[in-house]
Amino acid sequence: MLVWPIAANSRPMPRSASGLFSAGHCADGNSDILFRQRGTSATLLWEMDGATSTSIPLPGVPTDWRVVGVGDFNNDDTSDILWRHDNGTVAIWLMNNGHLQTAGFFGVGNDWHVIGVGDLNGDGRDDIFGTTTTAPRPSPK
Ligand SMILES: [Ca+2]
Ligand SMILES: [Ca+2]
Ligand SMILES: [Ca+2]
């Protein structure tokens, strides 16, 4: 569910925009909204302050990359963006104050799918949880 606060200065988004919601992109304690416009390379961050927002365009990304998650992967209290390419490559954008700071890439087989993001080992850095369609399934007992 996407909660969309409306304010007098709100800007309408194109109907083609798809949204993800995330927490604390700028370490200000306010959740922000990340939009990816369908069919274009445009990605936009709405940095929220209550019901008002500041729009920050992010670098263009080809349409064969998709946002598959948001999490704090380096434990700096700023949410980062997890991308997946159609060829299986995964990219993490480490963000700083709403802007791309560093990008890291790693290869993962196309049979793996990202299920979610969370700190699975309690070290303060979010991890990526995935599954594969080709792994052997446990047999019923
Ligand atoms: Ca924020
Ligand atoms: Ca971070
Ligand atoms: Ca972790």
Q: How confident is the model at residue 9 (pLDDT cuts 50, 70, 90)?
A: very low
How far, in Å, is the centroid of ligand 3 from the Cα of 71?
10
| CA 138 vs CA 5, 132, 141: distances in Å | 45, 13, 9
Q: Which ligand does the CA of 126 lie closest to?
A: 3
How far, in Å, is the centroid of ligand 2 from the Cα of 127?
12
Cα(135)–Cα(40) distance, rounded to whole angstroms? 34
Residues sharing a CB contact under 8 Å with residue 122, sequence separation 6 or more, in sequence order: none
Q: Which ligand does the CA of 79 lie closest to?
A: 2
Residue of 19, 63, 57, 71 whose CA lies nearest to 40: 63
Whether pLDDT at 99 is above 60: yes
Cα(91)–Cα(83) distance, rounded to whole angstroms? 5
Tell me which of 23 and 46 has the higher pLDDT. 46
Q: Which ligand does the CA of 119 lie closest to?
A: 3
Count CA atoms closer than 13 A to 51's CA, side-chain side. Answer: 6
The helix/strand/coil state of 84 is strand
Q: How confident is the model at residue 12 (pLDDT cuts 50, 70, 90)?
A: very low
Cα(134)–Cα(108) distance, rounded to whole angstroms? 13
How far, in Å, is the centroid of ligand 3 from the Cα of 117?
9
Specify the pLDDT at position 20.
Answer: 57
Whether pLDDT at 8 is above 50: no
pTM confidence score: 0.80
